[in-house]
Structure 1
Amino acid sequence: MASTPAGTGTVPEQLNRSMKYFPEASEEDRAGFLAAARDFVAQAGPKKVAKLPPIGRIQWHLAAEGRADELVEVLRYDRENPGVYQVKGLRRARVELPGVELGALPPLVKNLKRSELPVRSRLTDMEWRDGRLVLRGYAYVPNAPAATGKRSVRIAGLRKEGGGGSVPLRLKTVLEPKATRSAPGALHAYDWSGFEITIDPRRLRSRGRWQSGTWFLGIGIPRPGGLSVGRVYKNDAGRGGHSQVQVVESGVRVVAGFEEDCFRLTVDVVPAEIEAHEAVRDGMEVTVRSCPETTRGRAPVELRVDHPGSRTAARYPLENREGSYGDGWARSAACVPFADLPVDGVRPKKVQNSRVSIVFADGTSRRATVARSLRTGTYQLAGGREVAAHTDGAGTFFLQTRVVQPVVDRMRWTARGELSLQGTYPGPEEPLRLVLRHGTRHEEKVLPVEVADGRFSALVTPDAMETYGGTLPLRGGRWYFTFRAAAEWDHANDIPVTLRPDLVGTLPMAHKGQHRRYTVDRRFFNRFFLNSGSALSPQVRGGYRQRQLRETYYPAQQRLPLREAVLYNSFGGKQFSDSPRAVYQEFVSRGTDIEHIAVVADQQAVLPAGVRGVAWGSEEWYEALARSRYVVTNVGINDWFTRREGQVVVQTWHGTPLKRIGADLLGTPKANLAYIASLPRRSRQFSLFVSPNAFTTPIMTHAFQLKCEVLESGYPRNDVFHAPDREKTAARVREQLGIPEGKKIVLYAPTWRDDQRYDGKRFKLDQQVDLTAAEAALGEDHVFLYRKHNKVLDSIPGAGQGFVHDVAAYPDIADLYLIADVLITDYSSVLFDFAHSGRPMLFFTYDLEHYRDTLRGFYFDFTERAPGPLLKTSEDLVVAIRNIDSVSARYKEKYEQFVKDFCEPSDGRASARVVDRMLEIAAGE
């Protein structure tokens, strides 16, 4: 991908697109672009060109000079290694790229500025150990030669804010593969960029005395052309991402914390702090202790509480507490009435934090911090709310008004691999569920929780989470805990489960499961999560390790003999389903003596007995891809894959096309010219391309630029409609889903929306069906199965309440076709498959014009040929379901024509035809 200008915004979009696809352009288009690039660079001038990213300014310089061959080399290199390159040089650091004569480039183009050689750092762990602070993390200069062993030369030191001194530190180099795994690109290894630094806080004293001040940590790394110096940045979770406090002596705290995500150490000489709190009358009495030596006659006289949204602060006088405490500190106390605390706007996910300050006799004040002995606590308010005397990692004290929260005070891993949670919950006595919600996918797991007498308990077994057809490990990533009332429709009123603040130091808590590592850790101080680690071993994770496997391990495996095995790849291992599963069943029915191997992503597919799973990206996966006699896939195979002699590769694809794809997008802004240009080469890796019908064959041949045999066999996955045991299968599926006898089944299976996304390939659920209204109208005699597309994130509202069933995780949609009385879809290819059933279809096309005219475009007039009504509103949808018999009668002729056009052949023998041809090709026929 061509590098775009940074910070200039001066390159026209079309000119930038022409640069991006220059390798695929015709000679005429290339000449026109080179002339335009020359004018652009001349107009922009050297200074503006110098502001482009390093590879970007080389690309534009080559274009301006008409060096087309070198430009093509750089663009192709950048596609494979976006933003990644080699840094060389002695006195001056410069970019080095293959295929470019660097000597002919001006210094402003090839030389790197200091800002282009930053230190990339991350603090992975931080703890106070025996009175000293131990920091672990990694730091490297991107693209520069990386350290290769323990003796790498790096320096570290603390510098005081505002001047006033520096403290050199000893940096120990340690192995930290996380650095390589997290680095962009696959060109460099940074394993030995790990560091360990131990800081003795006594070195921060001035002339033997403690003085308040802030110190920042810097790390210097030698690289070509000089030394890069940078600060160390926090982690996004765990001990390396939260402030920690150490009391180094009475009245002196050292806070290891962060400012703008950069690590800093703060020495805090404490004149007064919050020591205790307790309920009195209709409020909370807060006790302050003060040190006469550090207050120097300016004793604390009041507490100031700043409430959110209020312009004026509430003030509460401190009254002295006479007596001898034996520790040299004086005590005073103030009462904060509960009635003064804000409750407006408090919701399950919305708290009100009131800031507390201690005001002294001379009018100065400081943010209240807590004594080491203080224990946080809660006080119950009316209306299911509470106020918490709370703190954070930096030891500040504040009052938090919130909905009553479950707080864990006991957590442990059992010998059976269960995470046991126990804690307090003085909330309303109503049926509750414990919900685990994925931090990025928003997927949910609902578990039972026992609540009684103000306490709760729950067990989580991450290695064996219930799913359709068995159990699976918890999907990789972070899972957060909430309480949800059993009657709630969605997650809007979920109540976060937190850890008691004084227990945050017990984290992380790790458990080694059967296939992966599970860790309890935290974010936002005491909001904890369960992290399900990668299913892949550390030795194969990350772009660099995968490149090694592709370039070294995979070719070595290809030199070994083929094995009589079939490798099935269904949706990149997200399922074991679709046509690959149907081909597997055909092999089994024949009793063929052959090994069956399935690609599995993140251990999230349930496999039949006798099928061996290989993890996507593992060594076993590369080996199976290189040595299996047969490969059956329904999605594209990586562009580095090469079919070897004697290997049979079958592309079944996954749908009759309604939306334009591949080369048929040429001439539209969505056309990926580099991908389209690669299609002939990609298709040559297939021995056989399966077509479901006569309509699809010419479309796929052109769209995918096929240079392989096309077999118009019908889709193997649609043999299910003719299977002799289909009634038995349907009964099993209904029972598995828990659908009551006599209920009609509505299956809703929409596609994704290209313009409804979080980022990249993470699409949002575009939920337009009014499920509440649908339940009111249909709930008595219908159930609603919601099958979101596998690219779509988010949970399904109403799932688990009896009417709506979330069946996104069901292994194969073909089974759901067998039980559905009505299908609702939009522009998804499921309509072509379900038409084999002869049962009615409804099309919820609320955005038809936008989708057709702006997002995708269709191969035929969908409005004229759709075998069912196109409905714009949820209300119309419900009415059509209620009157489905009359709707079906009205569309009978269109439906019959649709079946003739798109469902032939349809005789239950598609899998047999595919397997027959596979065996013929293997035999050389």
Structure 2
Amino acid sequence: MVAKPEDIIPEELRRRMRYLPEADAAEREAFLGEAGAFLASAGQATLRKLPPVARIKWHLARERRVEELLTVLAFERENPTAFPVRGRLRPYVAIPGVDGRSLPGHVSRLHLREMPVRAKATEVLWQDGKLLVRGYAYVLNLPEGGIGPMPRLAWLRAPGGRRVPVKYRAVESARATRDSRQALHSYDDWGFEITIDPARLKSRGRWKAGTWGLTVALPRPGGYVPGNVERSDIGSAGHSQARDLGDGARLVAGFTEDRFRVTVDLPGAEVVAQAASGGGEALELTLSAPAGGRRPTRLRVQRKGHKGAESEYPLAEAEGGAEEPGQVRFTAAVPFADLTVATEPREKTQDFLAHIDFADGTSRRATVREGFVPGRYPRPLGREIAVTTDGPGLLKLHDRARQAVVDRLEWVKGALVVEGSYTGPGERMRFVLRHGERFEEHVLPLEWSAAQARFSIRVQPDRMRRYDDVLPLRAGRWYFSLRDQDAWGHGEDVPVKLRADLIEPLIPLKKRVAGRTYTVNRRYYDRIFLGSGPVLTSEERGAHRQRELRQVHTPRFKTEPLREAVFYNSFGGKQFSDSPRAIHEELVRRGTEVEHLWSVADAQVALPPGVRAVEWHSREWYEALARSRYVVTNVGLGDWYERREGQVVVQTWHGTPLKKIGADLLGTPKANLAYIASLPHRFRQFDIVVSPNAFTTPIMRNAFRCEGEILEAGYPRNDIFHREDREKTAQRVRAALGIPQGKKVVLYAPTWRDDQRHTASKFKLDLRVDLNAAREALSEDHVFLFRKHPKILDAIPGAGQGFVWDVSAYPDIAELYLIADVLITDYSSVLFDFAHSGRPMLFFTYDLEHYRDTLRGFYFDFTEKAPGPLIKTSEELIESIRDIDFVRGRYAAKYEEFVKEFCEPSDGLATSRVVDRMLQLAER
């Protein structure tokens, strides 16, 4: 069994191993001594349990082979999840620069379990009466080119039964390489199409009930390795599906514990229809059974999760006989009152399990016949009884809040037409597209027909409005919901689902619009979403392709002449904003003859005329970075980047530091020693590093290990406070946001909390402001603009209801400063920029001690120098907004001192100083 290093090696030793390249000679010697002592006590058997690369690292540490150990650590940083394999018969790890022959076999040699199959289905569909499974399957870390012409195999096997080979055809799959999330190996040739003929599962010409598991077997050094095909999380490869085989049999294809299986099922009786009966008071279910087969006698319905809560309903033979030759029909009436159990409108869905009992004493879950049409029946409290099915074809009965069900999906001239029914108050509803990961939203008007209880919507995914701009939907999955026009948040959104019998004919539904592919698909069986595809091509996406662009293509680009162009990067291509924007506008004002190229991530930035968008990390992006005369950025470019001869690279950076950064975090748990060690190289790539003030300059010098020129010019972005057209700009911004005339503007712009995370790089909204109370106290004459940090994902409650405005997507926060009458922040560097305005600030520092003493640490005593009150509670915050004139007077002296220390130079000429120096350097 392979053990994780954290289960064997003490945490402190692992940390010191990770940062051994940054350690000095004495630290390395101490580490080797302690590591050797631990490994000696742990024993050889313990070391053998480690993963392959870890075995090599700790073996080299025990033998004090420092240079080779450093080589392995450097390789592992670049390839954290992959390694090269050599050996046709006895495979072993072969890390470049390490003499594999000097390593014992038990250290470098790979076992079968250490070269597993990674296989995933990406599509499962029926084609010409057969089941077609598409996907990819590769052996982890298999050498480039595999091991020759050995075939790839697949078969179905019943537990303890016979094995049935199935057709395996190798195809190309760039997704295999992309999904592997590593840069070392290409798995493009490891796609597959597996064809399963259900007829081959018959036993002596007859159907026999049973479940068959799918196994693939791939060649590896020394033989074959078997593996299971796992599911996707969306679409046909993420859900089970049932198909009628005739002769009273059906095939269920799907996944059990993520392993693909097919089941031959002989139901004996199936539900074929449903309708309201008894004057609308009961649900009539119609079953069909083979004449001469097992006779169904009753239907049992049990509330899921409630033992003993079961009702029985007799099955009566239907009048008029069967509609199908050789079949008998039966009906059962289930009173809707028996299925109505919820006592609150928003109570969670209550599920019921249905079983069919037969005359021979057997029983089984009720399934539906292929083509079964679901139904919904309104009940009191805004609830409904839903009669539907799922992937395996089970009959599903629900008491649930009323849901919207789509029955038409169609692309019409680049617009997605969505139509369906809803038994709730549709006239109050709006249509919401909500991003599945970022929780960003687009709210669209709904067309509603009260007479038919139907809704319709047209979605133009390439033309979504964002303030004054029109942009395509951000890449990712956008789920459909209905929302009440007065809703305060998304907690009571109505999910939009697809009618179960229409799943196969309607989706997936793809359309290429304006250079991007949009796909309607499903998750959780019938929950539909609109997927916005990536802008990058398949040759540009994924770690492996990006490595090729950096290491193969970029050197070629650098052999071509420089272009007289400026390549701008603002926050990783996320905005047309900040100091790079100010520099662009100054160059345009001067009439400098250069081409203007702007990094744009996912086509989510609107650019002015004369500026060309270059998609982030595209081939064109790497070429622009290699060939532009000037590069202007406000964030790092990566430790792989090296400026070429003749280029001028300007690093404007993006804040005055209150929180400790870079090398100044040394000695704290937040210090990233590898990043800190890379800082001298990173900052050698910049001809100029722009500093906003005398306070920041020495911090930049030390924290960034900056050895080059620091130009203390002030931030170009803050020249906006001195521009003659600032009032005109403010009027334009208020109009773009739709802020009512005469309303005062409160801008809330907090930073993120390191200990409030969704993932390693995505943070939660730590909302401590009572927005309801703020609305009651302030909404008559204020609006509350909420500007989330880009790392924070969650939606803002109440946004869009007239008082709270989510302005996180507004392109440039500097323009928001111009309309803000008061700023609320905490420890964000926005306070240093906004201080140029002279307007009051409030600091909502409810967690000051924890943030300062545990999370980050400050460069100065914030409690002494803050140019406004430090506020602990939402009540105090609201009161301070009401009394802002008093706050302004009380903190006037502190504010003046703060401006002197942190806002000089502040004369509106920062951009001019930076551009002068930039152009001067180009003449050297």
Give the structure-2-normalised TM-score. 0.97
Indicate whether 1:501 and 2:500 are aligned: yes
1:290 is matched by which residue type in structure 2? A
Equivalents in 2 of 1:11, 1:301: separation in Å?
63
Q: 1:150 touches 1:192 (CA, 8 Å); kept in 2?
A: no
Aligned to 1:305: 301
The worse-fitting range, judged by mean Cα deviation, of 603-612 and 359-368 is 359-368
1:22-171 correspondence runs (5 A): 22-145=20-143, 153-161=151-159, 163-171=160-168
**Which of 194, 197, 204 is residue 197 of structure 1 equivalent to?**
194
Equivalents in 1 of 2:3, 2:137: separation in Å?
27
Equivalents in 1 of 2:119, 2:346: separation in Å?
36
* Partner SS, residue 189 of structure 2: helix
Q: 2:634 touches 2:651 (CA, 8 Å); kept in 1?
A: yes
Displacement of 1:7 in angstroms is 6.9
Taking structure 1 as reference, are residues 373 and 625 closer, same or farther at Cα in structure 2, changes over 3 Å only?
closer
Equivalents in 2 of 1:104, 1:594: separation in Å?
57
Q: 2:573 touches 2:600 (CA, 8 Å); kept in 1?
A: yes
Deviation track 1:80-110 (CA, whole Å, cap 9, x = no partner) reads: 0002101122332211111212122222211
Displacement of 1:241 in angstroms is 1.3
Taking structure 1 as reference, are residues 370 and 5 closer, same or farther at Cα in structure 2, changes over 3 Å only?
closer
* Partner SS, residue 192 of structure 1: coil
Aligned to 2:221: 224
The worse-fitting range, judged by mean Cα deviation, of 256-265 and 371-380 is 371-380
Displacement of 1:364 in angstroms is 2.3
Displacement of 1:293 in angstroms is 4.3
* Partner SS, residue 85 of structure 1: coil
Aligned to 2:569: 569
Equivalents in 2 of 1:344, 1:324: separation in Å?
37
Equivalents in 2 of 1:207, 1:309: separation in Å?
41
1:184-333 correspondence runs (5 A): 184-281=181-278, 282-295=281-294, 299-312=295-308, 313-325=310-322, 326-333=324-331
Displacement of 1:342 in angstroms is 4.6
2:480 is matched by which residue type in structure 1? F
Taking structure 1 as reference, are residues 401 and 147 closer, same or farther at Cα in structure 2, changes over 3 Å only?
farther
Displacement of 1:9 in angstroms is 1.9
Indicate whether 1:474 and 2:473 are aligned: yes
* Partner SS, residue 573 of structure 1: coil
Indicate whether 1:376 and 2:374 are aligned: yes
Same amino acid, percent of matched pairs: 58
Taking structure 1 as reference, are residues 346 and 292 closer, same or farther at Cα in structure 2, changes over 3 Å only?
farther
Displacement of 1:148 in angstroms is 7.1
* Partner SS, residue 656 of structure 2: coil
Equivalents in 2 of 1:35, 1:5: separation in Å?
24
The worse-fitting range, judged by mean Cα deviation, of 282-291 and 315-324 is 315-324
2:654 is matched by which residue type in structure 1? H
Equivalents in 2 of 1:138, 1:193: separation in Å?
6
Equivalents in 1 of 2:46, 2:181: separation in Å?
26
Deviation track 1:333-383 (CA, whole Å, cap 9, x = no partner) reads: 222121122542776693222111111234321111101242111111111
Deviation track 1:473-492 (CA, whole Å, cap 9, x = no partner) reads: 10000000000000001000
Taking structure 1 as reference, are residues 348 and 188 closer, same or farther at Cα in structure 2, changes over 3 Å only?
farther
Displacement of 1:183 in angstroms is 0.9
Taking structure 1 as reference, are residues 694 and 451 closer, same or farther at Cα in structure 2, changes over 3 Å only?
same
1:513 is matched by which residue type in structure 2? V
Aligned to 1:463: 462
Deviation track 1:481-521 (CA, whole Å, cap 9, x = no partner) reads: 00000000100000000111111102110010112100001
Q: 2:122 touches 2:232 (CA, 8 Å); kept in 1?
A: yes
2:205 is matched by which residue type in structure 1? G
Indicate whether 1:763 and 2:759 are aligned: no
Aligned to 2:520: 520
Displacement of 1:264 in angstroms is 0.4
Displacement of 1:471 in angstroms is 0.5
Deviation track 1:725-750 (CA, whole Å, cap 9, x = no partner) reads: 00100011111111111100000000
Indicate whether 1:354 and 2:343 are aligned: no
Q: 2:520 touches 2:530 (CA, 8 Å); kept in 1?
A: yes
User: Over the residues paired in the alignment, what is the CA RMSD in angstroms?
Assistant: 1.5
Equivalents in 1 of 2:229, 2:772: separation in Å?
50
Q: 2:118 touches 2:139 (CA, 8 Å); kept in 1?
A: yes
Q: 2:276 touches 2:283 (CA, 8 Å); kept in 1?
A: yes
Displacement of 1:153 in angstroms is 2.0
Q: 2:342 touches 2:399 (CA, 8 Å); kept in 1?
A: no
Displacement of 1:208 in angstroms is 0.9
Taking structure 1 as reference, are residues 345 and 923 closer, same or farther at Cα in structure 2, changes over 3 Å only?
farther
Displacement of 1:184 in angstroms is 2.2
Displacement of 1:462 in angstroms is 0.4
Equivalents in 1 of 2:344, 2:68: separation in Å?
62
The worse-fitting range, judged by mean Cα deviation, of 140-149 and 495-504 is 140-149
Q: 2:345 touches 2:382 (CA, 8 Å); kept in 1?
A: no
The worse-fitting range, judged by mean Cα deviation, of 5-14 and 648-657 is 5-14
2:361 is matched by which residue type in structure 1? G
Q: 1:777 touches 1:878 (CA, 8 Å); kept in 2?
A: yes
Deviation track 1:19-51 (CA, whole Å, cap 9, x = no partner) reads: 000011011110111111111211222222122
Aligned to 2:409: 411
Structure 1 residue ranges (4+ consecutive) displaced by more than 3 angstroms after TM superposition: 146-152, 345-350
* Partner SS, residue 589 of structure 2: helix
Q: 1:349 touches 1:496 (CA, 8 Å); kept in 2?
A: no
Aligned to 2:654: 654
Equivalents in 2 of 1:582, 1:528: separation in Å?
43
Q: 2:243 touches 2:370 (CA, 8 Å); kept in 1?
A: no
Equivalents in 1 of 2:146, 2:471: separation in Å?
39
Aligned to 1:17: 15
1:490 is matched by which residue type in structure 2? G
Instruction: Count the aligned residue pairs.
Output: 916
Taking structure 1 as reference, are residues 620 and 429 closer, same or farther at Cα in structure 2, changes over 3 Å only?
closer
Displacement of 1:53 in angstroms is 1.4
Aligned to 1:589: 589
* Partner SS, residue 284 of structure 1: strand
Q: 1:271 touches 1:292 (CA, 8 Å); kept in 2?
A: no
Equivalents in 1 of 2:813, 2:150: separation in Å?
55
Equivalents in 2 of 1:346, 1:499: separation in Å?
25
1:179 is matched by which residue type in structure 2? A
Aligned to 1:390: 388
Equivalents in 2 of 1:403, 1:253: separation in Å?
32
Taking structure 1 as reference, are residues 847 and 862 closer, same or farther at Cα in structure 2, changes over 3 Å only?
same
Q: 2:687 touches 2:708 (CA, 8 Å); kept in 1?
A: yes
Displacement of 1:868 in angstroms is 0.3
1:346-745 correspondence runs (5 A): 350-415=348-413, 417-452=414-449, 453=451, 454-505=453-504, 506-745=506-745
Aligned to 2:334: 336
Q: 1:658 touches 1:860 (CA, 8 Å); kept in 2?
A: yes
Equivalents in 2 of 1:799, 1:189: separation in Å?
46
Equivalents in 2 of 1:481, 1:584: separation in Å?
39
* Partner SS, residue 474 of structure 1: coil
Displacement of 1:151 in angstroms is 6.1
Equivalents in 2 of 1:596, 1:500: separation in Å?
50
Deviation track 1:635-688 (CA, whole Å, cap 9, x = no partner) reads: 001211111111100111000000001000000111111111111111110000
Deviation track 1:105-158 (CA, whole Å, cap 9, x = no partner) reads: 222211112221111011011111121111111000111125579966211111
Equivalents in 2 of 1:359, 1:78: separation in Å?
60
